[in-house]
Amino acid sequence: MTEKQKTFAFVVYPGLTALDLVGPLQVLSGLAEADPAFRVVVVGETLDPIDTDSPLRIAPSHTFDAVPDPYAILVPGGAALTLQALANRTLIGYLARAAESAELVTSVCTGSLLLGEAGLLNGREATTHWMFRDLLRAFGATPVAKRWVEDGPVITAAGVSAGIDLALHLVERLAGAETARAVQFGIEYDPQPPLGPLDWANAPHEAMAPLREHILRDGLAGHPELVAKLLART
Amino acid sequence: MTEKQKTFAFVVYPGLTALDLVGPLQVLSGLAEADPAFRVVVVGETLDPIDTDSPLRIAPSHTFDAVPDPYAILVPGGAALTLQALANRTLIGYLARAAESAELVTSVCTGSLLLGEAGLLNGREATTHWMFRDLLRAFGATPVAKRWVEDGPVITAAGVSAGIDLALHLVERLAGAETARAVQFGIEYDPQPPLGPLDWANAPHEAMAPLREHILRDGLAGHPELVAKLLART
């Protein structure tokens, strides 16, 4: 790297949702290829491979210690193991410290809850996966139902695949529409969901309620202080 | 696993494009969660972590030898290192053998070229990343400009992000529209590309030509037989 490069740090921890990470990682890697002013790294507590919520294991390129003051951070989300990570002081401590100097603080899906635990959402508008949007209030944030929500330096995206849209927005913001279009052609992002867009009027809130309860119970087990914090206001 | 489980094998090799793999892996992992009749594994030559085309390293869950007869294979693509993989006899040999018993043979992006090298596209319609679509003719395939192309048991997807659409189609085909919709809500796949869909009338063919040449030169270096095969008919 050169002294002038702006480093995007993708922050990983055990059990994250792989696509939350890899969607925006692919897009921002395209930016770094197109414009050497940017650099992309994957940071973790150690360099050892960690589990994701899929059969894929992943390994960071750098440790937290090696990237103390990135230009931007991006935090992927997940299910129960992301809630467990709310009690991971090494992770939350890194987010809080890195955010001090970072010009952009971003998340995908329930990664925004980790930003909240690091004290970064207080008084801000934010979003997360639709099933867990109400939990943002626990961190002093105002939940917003949008694909991504920009509040000053903090940009949070909705669930999982929304990270791709967020990342293309970041490329446009940082390098302009022409570069964003080139990256979009590079990943051939011309979505054609076989069943069409989501029909929010028929979102399966009731059908998903047991899954939500299961994730909350599993993720917060052994942490009554988190249960009290997250569920008091929902 | 149980004897009756149908195994989706995601086939990995050094240098692949991470999103080609992780988009459909996330979707099919959702199917496996919803329906225990399905099982998802990531297979590689060894269990050691390998590089992707991003700063992320990934580790397979199983070796090729451990999954000799999957129900389905999915092969991700990439750039120069995917072309280099055309000369990887271990990889191509695994694809050819696994396809013999597989009921579904699928690919994302230039992963279809690897299927072609394994002799699986002869006489079939197929697709790949838009920049490399003409290369499919080298394998006796008829290139088609669609998001995904289904020809009997062989289903090939267009570039990178098309793997998400392909995978949702597979879920619908294998488990029905209700399950596919639930998985789509799970990954909140309600795409909103900031600059809208791709404008194919203004695809950057000329601007991308030097990149294409560079990838072909790098990927096929040292393999004149592959140069002759791939470039003779383009």
**Which among A110, A132, A156, A189 is the top mutation candidate for probing chain B, defined by the most B β-carbons within 10 Å of its own β-carbon?**
A189
Q: CA geometry: angle at A74 spanning A68 and A78, to 5°?
A: 120
Q: Where are the domains of chain B?
A: 6-231
* Shortest alpha-carbon distance between residue A223 and chain B (Å): 26
Q: What is the pLDDT of residues B34-79, one digit of tens each?
A: 999 999 999 999 999 999 999 999 999 999 999 999 999 999 999 9
Nearest to B39 by CA among B13, B70, B74, B85: B70
Q: Which homologous superfamily is A6-231 in? A: Class I glutamine amidotransferase (GATase) domain (3.40.50.880)
Nearest to B184 among A21, A182, A195 (CB): A195
Rounded-to-integer distance, Cα A42 and Cα B113, Å: 29
Residue of A nearest to B59 (CA): A57
ipTM, two decimals: 0.96
**What pLDDT is attached to residue A231?**
87
**What is the pTM assigned to this prediction?**
0.97
C-alpha of A127 from chain center: 10
Surface of A (80-99) touching B: CB under 8 A: none
Looking at residue B162, its amino acid is A
Rounded-to-integer distance, Cα B233 and Cα B217, Å: 17
- Model confidence at B233: pLDDT above 80: no
Q: Is A192 on the interface with B (CB under 8 A)?
A: yes
From first to last of its 234 residues, chain A has per-residue pLDDT tens of: 555 799 999 999 999 999 999 999 999 999 999 999 999 999 999 999 999 999 999 999 999 999 999 999 999 999 999 999 999 999 999 999 999 999 999 999 999 999 999 999 999 999 999 999 999 999 999 999 999 999 999 999 999 999 999 999 999 999 999 999 999 999 999 999 999 999 999 999 999 999 999 999 999 999 999 999 998 755
**What pLDDT is attached to residue A232?**
78
